[in-house]
């Protein structure tokens, strides 16, 4: 069975896919076989689901979509609502079995959650329940913008409350001119009680290969051990 990480974020649109793909690229660059998983994708763009396709392209192993992306919905809305409109219910146990299949195909599996950590997946369970079922160390992506301190600290507290290990966090500077950026990063370093895995600088058109050098895999593996 391979090693795995669960990538979550302080909100939707904060760079989870970018960081997850960069991690896959970084592991591949370190000589590891790596595969990405997007258990639930909502919002179809062009001819496919962009996040799931990006993860598939970033890894060294390209598995069947039935296990890499078990649930894919057309509308870009909350997963549980998208599932209701499709007449199905998202089954966390099925996702867990798909993950176990993936973990036999590569040394590292990077799982990207949907939206924020507590986004509902069905009438009873959230993204946190999925993370608990998988039992993986969590990587928290913080979108550096006004309000990120509260969002990051609340998410970190919830990760701990779930009994999961936070392997580290990534500061994604996705705005060109956030005021007091360094001060906000320092505040989170002092309070999140997990390693800062990297600061991703602002890029107008970021690509995973260009972001991977800013991530410290040594810290990630050490924190997850």
pLDDT value of position 150: 97
Of 25, 38, 151, 156, the catalytic one is: 38
pLDDT per residue over 192-217, tens digit each?
999 999 999 999 888 998 989 999 88
More confident residue, 224 or 22: 22
Specify the long-range contacts of residues 201-204, CB closer than 8 Å, at least 24 apart. 201/173, 202/173, 202/174, 202/175, 202/176, 204/176
Catalytic-residue membership of 38: yes
pLDDT in tens, 36-48: 999 999 877 644 4
Rounded Cα distance, 24 and 11, in Å? 21
Enumerate the domain spans of the chain: 3-224
How do residues 68-94 score in pLDDT, each as one tens digit? Answer: 999 999 888 999 999 999 999 999 999
pLDDT at residue 220, rounded to an integer: 76
Contact status, residue 108 vs residue 167, Cβ threshold 8 Å: no
CATH number for the region 3-224 comes to 3.40.50.300
pLDDT digits (tens, 9 = 90+) for 163-195: 999 999 999 999 999 999 999 999 999 999 999
């Amino acid at each position: 069975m391979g090693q795995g990480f669960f990538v979550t974020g302080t909100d939707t649109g904060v760079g989870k896919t970018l960081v997850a793909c960069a991690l896959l690229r970084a592991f591949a660059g370190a000589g590891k076989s790596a595969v990405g998983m997007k258990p639930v994708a909502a919002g179809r763009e062009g001819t496919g689901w962009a996040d799931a396709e990006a993860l598939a392209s970033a890894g060294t192993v390209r598995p069947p979509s039935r296990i890499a992306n078990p649930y894919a919905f057309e509308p870009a809305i909350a997963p549980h609502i998208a599932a209701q409109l499709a007449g199905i219910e998202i089954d966390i146990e099925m996702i867990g079995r798909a993950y176990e299949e993936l973990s036999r195909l590569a040394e590292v599996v990077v799982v990207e959650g949907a939206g924020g950590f507590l986004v509902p997946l069905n009438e009873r369970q959230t993204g946190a329940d999925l993370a608990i079922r998988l039992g993986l160390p969590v990587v928290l992506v913080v979108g550096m913008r006004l309000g990120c301190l509260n969002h990051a600290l609340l998410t970190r507290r919830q990760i701990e409350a779930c009994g999961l290990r936070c392997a580290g966090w990534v500061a994604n500077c996705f705005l060109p001119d956030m005021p007091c950026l360094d001060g906000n990063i320092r505040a989170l370093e002092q309070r999140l009680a997990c390693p800062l895995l990297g600061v991703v600088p602002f890029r107008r058109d970021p690509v995973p290969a260009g972001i991977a050098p800013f991530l410290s895999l040594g810290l990630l593996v050490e924190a997850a051990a």
